[in-house]
Structure 1
Amino acid sequence: MAVFAWLGFAVGYAVATPRDGGTDPVAVGFLQDMSSHHRQALEMSLIVLDNGETPAVRAVAREILIGQSYEIGRMEQQLRTMGQDPIDRPDVVMAWMGMPSTVAAMPGMATAGQLDALRSAQGVEADVLFVELMAAHHAGGVHMADDAARRASSPALRDLAMRMARNQRVEVQEMIALVERHELPADVTPIPPPRS
């Protein structure tokens, strides 16, 4: 199911890649910060592909690797289009949301200790920890995407943020179903719908 959601995202993104936005701090900040946020999702996905065992969990990890790698590439290209260096970026994140922070303290980011625990876990223990960490990670990403969807000046950027938020909400619902179907002892909370 997530594959179809991602394919829909990819098609929509190809049609409506935001090419405006100029120096809109919301657009620039969102693209920079979400790229950093996505990189940790890739890291966690690679870890569970090495040490997890539940095929459905591994499938989720592969979908995240494909989908979020694609999104990082598109976001970095958009930053270049806007005259921004996607690599050389400020140390402070989320200033565009009025919540200046460090990358490590962004909403949903796993701590160094949690990442170490995921690396050390094996089998079902790794699957459970991955699902819990990734669901929390997605919730943090949705928090940022919802804000960008409300406040970015570019209609296409707002659409991009809405697509990201929608897809991550769908993935969390799929993780909840996966946990129930495979009777994994994981605690996953649904992400509330966006504020109207």
Structure 2
Amino acid sequence: MSTNICWARWLAAACAIVVLALGSALVIVSITLSRVSAVPGTGSADAGFARDMAVHHQQAVELSLIVRDRTDDDDVRRLAYDIVNTQANQRGMLLGRLAVWGLPKSSQHPPMAWMGRHDMHQRPHQGNLMPGMATSSQIEALRKAEGPAAEVLYLQLLTEHHRAGVEMARSGSTLATDPLVKDLAASMLRGQQAEIALMAKLLEQRGS
């Protein structure tokens, strides 16, 4: 009788272990499937925002590095320094997100197509791939300018650059589904709006 009781207890314990193991396996499978399904597609707003803003940021960094060597003005150099550090870091986060998702850094989709706004589309012109981006001629003009002339041109180019960036960031914060991308887009929106206001003051001080 005692043997039967021990056997029954052992069997119950074994069944409990099997049930727990199956439950754990189901949880793991569920989490894995949810993660897989959460990966944005290559044509998603998340991927489009990451790609386009990475390109947009790259030019803002380039413009800022150029003006840094074309002026001695502390305010403009400080702004340029902040933009280089902030946008280079954000660009790295966006490209890193694409890498985590296993998506390419470039796409055959037109720039900003993910926003669903046809008025934001444009044909590339002299390296100007998206609204707000400076042309190669404008960048060359900045390279040749010095002092106040370089400051004004930089602030004008970057203001237009930021205005388009704000539109993209606003759409990214609304349309993206990845929490990190949504938070990053919202942060960009706030930061670039503040910098637009600052650049307006700097331009006014320079009579432009």
Q: After superposition, where does 1:50-61 map in structure 2 within 5 Å?
A: 50-61=69-80
CA distance in 1, matches of 2:99, 2:182: 18
RCO comparison, higher one (Cα < 8 Å, 6+) = 1
CA distance in 2, matches of 1:76, 1:153: 16
CA distance in 2, matches of 1:90, 1:52: 39
Q: Which residue of 1 aligns with 2:61?
A: 42
Q: Which residue of 2 aligns with 1:178?
A: 202
1:144 Cα deviation after fit: 0.7
Q: After superposition, where does 1:182-193 map in structure 2 within 5 Å?
A: 183-186=205-208
Q: 2:69 aligns to what SS in structure 1?
A: helix
Kept in 2, the 8 Å contact 1:148–1:158? The answer is yes
1:55 Cα deviation after fit: 1.3
TM-score of the superposed pair, with normalisation by structure 2: 0.72
Mind listing any 5+ residue stretches in structure 1 that lack a counterpart?
1-19, 187-196
Specify the code of the residue in structure 2 equivalent to 1:104.
Answer: N
1:21 Cα deviation after fit: 4.7
1:89 Cα deviation after fit: 3.5
Task: Provide the aligned length of Structure 1 versus Structure 2.
Answer: 164
CA distance in 2, matches of 1:104, 1:26: 21
Kept in 2, the 8 Å contact 1:53–1:127? The answer is no
CA distance in 2, matches of 1:91, 1:97: 11
CA distance in 2, matches of 1:76, 1:138: 20
Specify the code of the residue in structure 1 equivalent to 2:167.
Answer: H
Q: Which residue of 1 aligns with 2:184?
A: 160
CA distance in 1, matches of 2:199, 2:165: 16
Q: Which residue of 1 aligns with 2:5?
A: none
1:173 Cα deviation after fit: 1.4
Kept in 1, the 8 Å contact 2:170–2:185? The answer is yes
Q: Which residue of 2 aligns with 1:13?
A: none
1:33 Cα deviation after fit: 0.2
Kept in 2, the 8 Å contact 1:110–1:137? The answer is yes
Specify the code of the residue in structure 2 equivalent to 1:52.
Answer: T
CA distance in 1, matches of 2:169, 2:39: 16
TM-score of the superposed pair, with normalisation by structure 1: 0.77
Specify the code of the residue in structure 2 equivalent to 1:119.
Answer: R
1:95 Cα deviation after fit: 1.5
Q: 1:104 aligns to what SS in structure 2?
A: coil
Candidates 116, 119, 140, aligned match of 2:164 = 140
Q: After superposition, where does 1:115-126 map in structure 2 within 5 Å?
A: 115-126=139-150
Q: Deviations over 1:159-181 (max 9, x none)?
A: 2211111100011112223334x
Quick one: percent identity of the two aligned structures?
Answer: 37
Give the structure with higher Rg (CA): 2
Specify the code of the residue in structure 2 equivalent to 1:127.
Answer: E
CA distance in 2, matches of 1:129, 1:151: 33
1:105 Cα deviation after fit: 3.8
1:137 Cα deviation after fit: 0.5
CA distance in 1, matches of 2:160, 2:167: 11
Q: Which residue of 1 aligns with 2:103?
A: 84
Kept in 2, the 8 Å contact 1:21–1:27? The answer is no
CA distance in 1, matches of 2:175, 2:201: 32
Specify the code of the residue in structure 2 equivalent to 1:65.
Answer: V
